[in-house]
């Protein structure tokens, strides 16, 4: 079936460190892929998305590349800030459906 | 920037009581979703509306949960009676159409605690 697997957190980094949060998916066909961020007490906000293989989504210094060969959509940022502390969710929407399938989320904590 | 509105933000109730949550999607968004997010997990879809019609409620526990979107705009999710295991964040989202590439926009959520 369709699923999304994220690396378990929490991930604790110092400010200006490099961030990678791994995400892999299983799906039939070619799903659209998303990263959402959830700050404490808030709903989910779209961070970036990619809709086809080799697409790179980017926003606010975050990037993720749709890798069909490894069924991955890893989130990266070159230099994290304290304000990036949040929970990050990877999601897929299998082609031909409207259903988002979310990973379990990865909590990021950035220390000053 | 338009946002999805939800109320209340927090609700505490005792088990066996009835609770209701309200959602107002972004204007012009035909599709509305209700999700449940248990602490430490990702959101799971409960029900999806296209205008006023339910198009997927396969994961909605229909013995106690109900949802409606009478005029195809705002929506209400009800639980009666509430159980301890219903404690979670209830999120509403909307988008313009059902295409999988179309971004879903989420509201701030209602955090439910059942005592």
CA dist B90 and A40 (Å) reads 15
For an interface test with B, the pick among A10, A43, A55 (most B C-beta atoms closer than 10 Å) comes out as A43
Q: Which residues, in sequence order, are CB contacts of B57 under 8 Å at separation 6+?
A: B46, B47, B48, B67
The distance in angstroms from the start CA to the end CA of chain A is: 41
Give residue B66's pLDDT.
97
Chain A residues within an 8 Å CB radius of B47: none
Tell me whether residues A94 and B101 touch, CB distance under 8 A: no
Chain A residues within an 8 Å CB radius of B110: none
Predicted confidence (pLDDT) at residue A10 exceeds the cutoff of 80: yes
Tell me the C-alpha to C-alpha distance, in Å, between residue B8 and each of A63, A67, B75, B78.
34, 40, 13, 13
Cross-chain CB nearest to B98 (options A44, A95, A98): A98
Which of helix, strand or coil describes residue A84?
A: helix
Give residue A98's pLDDT.
72
Chain A residues within an 8 Å CB radius of B90: none
Predicted confidence (pLDDT) at residue A11 exceeds the cutoff of 90: yes
Residue A30 — pLDDT band, cuts 50, 70, 90? confident
Tokens of A85: 């502390």
For B92, which residue in chain A has the nearest alpha carbon? A43
Q: How do residues B20-66 score in pLDDT, each as one tens digit?
A: 999 999 998 999 999 999 988 899 999 999 999 998 999 999 999 99
Predicted confidence (pLDDT) at residue A92 exceeds the cutoff of 80: yes
What value does the mean pLDDT take over residues A61-87? 96
CA dist A57 and A75 (Å) reads 9
Residue A19 and residue A13 in contact, taking contact as beta carbons nearer than 8 Å? yes
Tokens of A11: 């991930």
Q: What does residue A83 show for φ and ψ, rounded to 5 degrees?
A: -70, -10
Chain A residues within an 8 Å CB radius of B31: 98
Give residue B46's pLDDT.
96
SS3 content of chain A, % helix, strand, coil (to 5): 5, 50, 45
- Mean pLDDT, chain B, as a whole number? 92
- Mean pLDDT, chain A, as a whole number? 93
Q: Which one, of B44, B21, B22, lies nearest residue B112 by Cα?
A: B21
Tell me the C-alpha to C-alpha distance, in Å, between residue A106 and each of A21, A87, A91, A102, B51.
8, 5, 12, 11, 33
In B45-84, the residues whose Cβ lies within 8 Å of chain A are 45, 48, 56
Q: How do residues A38-66 score in pLDDT, each as one tens digit?
A: 998 788 999 999 989 999 999 999 999 99
Q: How do residues B55-108 score in pLDDT, each as one tens digit?
A: 899 999 999 999 999 888 999 999 999 999 999 999 999 988 765 567 889 999
Tell me whether residues B103 and A104 touch, CB distance under 8 A: no
Tell me the C-alpha to C-alpha distance, in Å, between residue B105 and each of A99, B24, B31.
14, 12, 11
Tell me whether residues A42 and B108 touch, CB distance under 8 A: yes
Which residues of chain A approach chain B closer than 8 Å at the C-beta? 4, 31-32, 34, 36, 41-46, 49, 51, 89, 91, 93-100, 102-105
CA dist B68 and B94 (Å) reads 15
Residue A16 — pLDDT band, cuts 50, 70, 90? very high
Give residue B60's pLDDT.
95
């Amino acid at each position: 079936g369709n699923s999304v697997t994220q690396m378990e957190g929490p991930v604790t980094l110092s400010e200006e460190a490099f961030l990678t949060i791994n995400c892999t998916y299983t799906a039939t066909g070619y799903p659209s892929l998303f990263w959402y961020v959830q700050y404490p007490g808030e709903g989910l906000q779209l961070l970036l998305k990619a809709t086809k293989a080799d697409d790179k989504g980017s926003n606010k210094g975050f990037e993720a590349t749709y890798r069909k060969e490894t069924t991955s959509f890893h989130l990266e940022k070159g230099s994290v800030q304290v304000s990036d502390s949040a929970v990050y969710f990877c999601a897929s929407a299998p082609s031909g459906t409207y259903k988002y399938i979310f990973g379990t989320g990865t909590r990021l904590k950035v220390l000053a | 920037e338009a946002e999805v509105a939800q109320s209340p933000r927090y609700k505490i109730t005792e088990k066996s009581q009835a609770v209701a949550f309200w959602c107002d999607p972004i204007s012009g968004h035909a599709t509305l979703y209700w999700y449940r997010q248990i602490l430490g997990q990702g959101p799971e879809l409960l029900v999806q509306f296209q205008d006023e019609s339910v198009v997927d409620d396969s994961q909605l526990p229909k013995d106690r949960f109900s949802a409606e979107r009478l005029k195809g705009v705002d929506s209400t999710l009800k639980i009666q009676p509430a159980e301890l295991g219903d404690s979670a964040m209830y999120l509403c989202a909307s988008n313009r159409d059902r295409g999988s590439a179309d971004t879903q926009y989420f509201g701030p959520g209602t955090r439910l605690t059942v005592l």
